[in-house]
A = this chain, B = another copy of it.
Amino acid sequence: MFPKQVSIFEVGARDGLQNEKSVSTQDKIILIEDLASAGIKRIEAASFVSPKWVPQMADSGEVLKNINRSSAVTYSALTPNLKGLELALDAGADEVAIFGAASQSFSKRNINCSIEESIERFIPVIEQAQAANVPVRGYVSCVLGCPYEGDIASSEVARVSEILYKMGCYEISLGDTIGVGTPHNARKMVEEVSRKVPVDKLALHFHDTYGQALANILACLETGVSVIDSSVAGLGGCPYAKGASGNLATEDLVYMLRGLGIDTGIDLNSLVNAGNRISQVLGKTTGSKVARAMGK
């Protein structure tokens, strides 16, 4: 039984733009405001990772402070550590997110520590966020495969997800970081995780690197999961670069959900316009097939 409603968690302004060439603070603000106008209620707007590592996000504080806020929207920020959390709180993030992995090798290469060490680091971040009444979202990457280890056991995804959930993350976003999953193994993974974390606390963050994201989401919707991460215009997923992150375009997801009779509260035309505007800023063709087909 499919959910009647799906909540889209829009990651284009962060996960997307951090994998594109730099755009101005003003263009980021316009994008975020466009997304809110299109009816998106949850927007990842900033990252307080060290600008040494992610220079594209160095102006995250300025972005968060200067958007014309909608009270209906939650503006989220990625906060890998206490310093990041302080900056995010100072800039007025409504919620924050931490980033873990289901693969030891990926954890070591991506955030430079083991899974266990990363969890230790998250403890004070979660405590201080909770003290400030700011919800914390947890990402788990490599849930369907790892570029270094290959297959990842769903039991390991479930174990890490449960730890983050019990530590206080209000929602766990399951990331198929390299997009290698296919429908049945994706659904099985979600089913296994949902035995440790309530399914209404799970989100899907599936990349489209192998073109499988929508089919995988379709299969997983049957588990009852009803939060999906995606990126307007497929931002961050340069279709021609090897190893591109391959974000799923929000437009294509909303099109499918609309066809399935699942409400998202998003106006597809406005969303397409938002995606086309930022694509134009980047000087690239939109990564959304729906946007290309609509030909605006």
Contact = CB atoms under 8 A, between A and B. Distances in A.
A261 interface: yes
A67 interface: no
A292 B239 contact: yes
Contacts of A219: 218
B293 A259 contact: no
A249 interface: yes
Interface string A270-292: 00000000000000010011101
Contact of A259 (B184, B239, B289): B184
A228 to B, nearest CB: 13
A249 to B, nearest CB: 7
Contacts of A109: none
A242 interface: yes
Contacts of A182: 255-256, 258-260
Contacts of A181: 259
Contacts of A249: 211
Nearest to A238: B292
Interface string A215-254: 1011100000000000000000001101110100100100
**Shortest beta-carbon contacts, A-B, top 3:** A182-B259, A211-B289, A211-B252
24 contacts: A181-B259, A182-B255, A182-B256, A182-B258, A182-B259, A183-B218, A183-B259, A183-B260, A209-B293, A210-B252, A210-B293, A211-B288, A211-B289, A212-B214, A212-B252, A212-B255, A214-B215, A215-B215, A215-B217, A218-B218, A218-B219, A240-B292, A242-B292, A242-B293
